Amino acid sequence: MTREGPIVQGHSPRSHASATRGSLSFDFSKGVWTPCMKTSPKGLVTPPSAFPEFEYLRGDIFRHFIDCTGKLTNEREGISQSGFWVEGGYFVTSLHFGPWICHGERPTQDMLETYRKSQDYGFNVSRINHNITGRREDDEYVDVVLWTWNLDNDLALFYPTVRNGQSPPSMIPSRCLVEADDLFHYFDRVNGTSMYAVGYNNSPDRDLGDYLRKYITDSPAANGAVPDYDTLLWPHFKSVAVGTIHDLDFLHSELLLNCSAWKGFFGGLIAIRYPQPDGAPLVIGQVVGARGDERFNRGRLLPTGFRDFFKNNNFHKERPGEMGLGRINLSGAHIPQGIVRPPRRPMMQPGLPGAHW
């Protein structure tokens, strides 16, 4: 390690030639690109007329989840991505915060360990609705350090350094986090289910131009409908991507998402509405980008044991970096064909004490 921070050497597993990137999604039934909606300073969004089914995002409980989303900045290496605060003061995100992501690689345990041991590396989280340069634009930013991770499930947890009275803002209750093994206790199917994700897209780049040219050439129905990046994805704004769950990839145990999100959105939460009775939100995973020239984004589900991990550990205790949670495996998952079953226990709406749904 140098004075400037960790030296990350060598190539990591599953190396690819180009940087990991996201995907734009065209809704052929509506004839439009699936949008991101920029948020106001108060977390308000205005769903476009083509997507009236997302009017519910104007509700207070959904604004709470939007407010819990932040932008993680690695200032030393000029990398930013999205994530969200959860109960206990943890910032949850993906493992895309280091230089390996620029080469489409995954980190190794040793690479991550060097970051964990550097307690002043320069990570911070901002949650304002428009942020280009990190903490310099946000008087309420929170300095954070890498605490633990789960390499098998592309998951990282940061915690505040608690300097100068800094503390995380609103947090998502752990009871609103749904682990992969529990997903089908809430839903009889996920294919076609409306979803939304919250995060910050980066500025357009050369990869985007190459991607769009190939997309429009390969998809005649989208020909002529070239999107304007700034008004479709609202770079550097906290934005809400809306769409549907296209399918489950059982080979990689990932969600396939018909929504538009580009670089910088990685780590952003994925949420769906509980179907009865009040339709409150549940966080089921995080956006991790696309593979190659795919026409959809991918999401990683939350691994089994994720919620219990918060109960059994806290960031005031020193511990090894790897969480040790097993890789999610959907190949043996039982996908029920009947009606939706109620949750195993009453669940409460965040911010509404005593209210069950």
In a domain, 338, yes or no: no
Residues 109 and 44 in one domain: no
Three-state DSSP at 262 gives coil
Residues 253 and 143 in one domain: no
In a domain, 191, yes or no: yes
Q: Which of 106, 63, 67, 111 is nearest to 85 (CA)?
A: 67
In a domain, 198, yes or no: yes
In a domain, 306, yes or no: no
CATH assignment at residue 119? 2.40.10
Residues 163 and 239 in one domain: no
Give the per-residue pLDDT at 332: 60
Residue with tokens 């495996």: 329
Give the per-residue pLDDT at 163: 59
Residues 185 and 213 in one domain: yes
Three-state DSSP at 60 gives helix
Both tokens assigned to 122: 């320069």
Residues 84 and 207 in one domain: no
Residue with tokens 């529990």: 182
Residues 163 and 293 in one domain: no
Residues 138 and 204 in one domain: no
Spatial contact of 253 and 329, defined as CB atoms under 8 Å apart: yes
pLDDT (tens place) for every residue of the chain, 357 residues total: 333 333 333 333 333 446 778 898 888 888 888 999 999 988 899 998 999 999 999 988 899 999 999 999 998 888 899 999 998 889 999 999 988 888 778 898 999 988 887 877 789 898 888 887 677 677 778 889 998 999 999 999 998 886 556 777 789 998 899 998 888 776 667 788 899 999 999 988 878 888 888 877 777 666 566 788 888 999 999 999 999 999 888 888 899 999 999 999 999 999 998 776 567 899 999 999 888 778 899 999 999 999 888 777 766 666 667 888 888 877 665 554 433 333 444 344 444 333 332
**Which regions of the chain does DSSP assign to beta strands (E)?**
26-27, 32-33, 36-38, 69-74, 79-86, 90-93, 123-126, 142-150, 155-160, 194-200, 238-249, 254-258, 269-273, 281-289, 297-301
Cis peptide before 6 (omega within 30 of 0): no
CA distances in angstroms from 279 to 226, 271, 282, 348, listed in the order given:
34, 11, 9, 12
Q: Model pTM?
A: 0.85
Residues 48 and 186 in one domain: yes
Q: Which of 270, 252, 253 is nearest to 261 (CA)?
A: 270
In a domain, 216, yes or no: yes
Q: Which of 172, 195, 155 is nearest to 305 (CA)?
A: 155
Expressed as residue numbers, the domain containing 73 is: 69-172
Residues 124 and 57 in one domain: no
| φ, ψ for residue 68, nearest 5 deg | -80, -5
Cross-strand partners of 145: 159
Give the per-residue pLDDT at 245: 93
In a domain, 308, yes or no: no
DSSP string across 131-144: -SSGGGG-TT-EEE
Report the 10 Å Cβ neighbour count for 348.
Answer: 15
Spatial contact of 132 and 23, defined as CB atoms under 8 Å apart: no
Q: Which of 172, 189, 204 is the last residue of a domain?
A: 172
Spatial contact of 292 and 271, defined as CB atoms under 8 Å apart: no
| φ, ψ for residue 186, nearest 5 deg | -105, -30
Residues 163 and 295 in one domain: no
Give the per-residue pLDDT at 224: 62
Report how far residue 105's alpha carbon sits from residue 12's, in angstroms, rounded to the nearest whole number.
Answer: 6
| φ, ψ for residue 30, nearest 5 deg | -105, -15
| φ, ψ for residue 155, nearest 5 deg | -130, 135
In a domain, 353, yes or no: no
Alpha helices in 182-226 (DSSP H): 183-186, 206-218
Report how far residue 174's alpha carbon sits from residue 345's, in angstroms, rounded to the nearest whole number.
Answer: 14
Report how far residue 122's alpha carbon sits from residue 124's, in angstroms, rounded to the nearest whole number.
Answer: 6
In a domain, 336, yes or no: no
Report the 10 Å Cβ neighbour count for 175.
Answer: 16
| φ, ψ for residue 196, nearest 5 deg | -140, 155
Spatial contact of 32 and 199, defined as CB atoms under 8 Å apart: no
Residue with tokens 């608690």: 162
Q: Which of 156, 172, 188 is the last residue of a domain?
A: 172
| φ, ψ for residue 65, nearest 5 deg | -65, -40
CATH assignment at residue 277? 2.40.10.10
Residues 268 and 235 in one domain: yes
Residues 184 and 45 in one domain: yes
Q: How many domains does the chain have?
A: 2
Q: Which of 137, 172, 207 is the last residue of a domain?
A: 172
